[in-house]
Amino acid sequence: MNYRIYPEGIDCVWVAVDRVGYLAIFVTAGQGPIPKVALDTDAIAIESIEEYIYTLPKISNAKLLIAMPRPDDFIAMAERGFFVYDWRDMHRSEIDYKNCYELIAIPESPLIMRNMIPDTSVLLTNIRLNKTAYVDSQKIDIPALIECFSTKTTGV
């Protein structure tokens, strides 16, 4: 399998399905771990996913879970039915790192994988987190669930 280089310093997103069938967006902040499968050269380019998400229709109201200066993108993604996680360690000193993605925004009406049109689901569902349910997960340690690249590793 061939992998793209980890997009260090580039704030990009990847999408995963939980055990219930809900979808979540994970915002890397240019540092967060990314599942290897998301960097597979046969997958949609990780740098293109966020732009694609914004072409989807708004289907839900969204709830922001933490105060932040510019929450627009997080809210916009949640309005499309996605749970939204962010790599918040980017804004912390190393001693305060949590080393996990943290839930930032939730949709009132979550997008369910089985209700997506086939063309869309093929683009967004190559990552499955079968041991996780987003409705119960404020924080997710992605490398504990799936093999990842991070800023400490590189693509092959």
Q: How is the chain split into domains, by residue range?
A: 13-142
The mean-pLDDT minimum among 12-16, 63-67, 114-118 falls in: 114-118
Using CA atoms, how far apart are residues 21 and 18, in angstroms rounded to an integer? Answer: 5
pLDDT band for position 123 (cuts 50, 70, 90): low
β-pair type (139-140, 13-18): unpaired
Q: Is the dihedral of CA 74, 11, 140, 115 positive or negative?
A: positive
pLDDT tens, position by position, 136-150:
999 999 999 999 998
* Residue 155 in this model has a pLDDT that exceeds 50: no
Distance in Å from the first CA to the final CA of the chain: 9
> What pLDDT, in 10s, does the model give residues 72-97?
999 999 999 999 999 987 765 666 66
pTM of structure: 0.89
Determine the pLDDT at residue 129.
93
Q: Which two tokens stand for residue 20?
A: 């219930």
CA distance 108 to 60: 6
Q: How far apart are CA 25 and CA 86, in angstroms?
A: 8
pLDDT of residue 36: 92
Closest Cα to residue 23, out of 104, 115, 113?
A: 113
pLDDT confidence of 23, banded at 50, 70, 90?
A: very high
Q: Percent of the chain scored above 90 by pLDDT?
A: 54
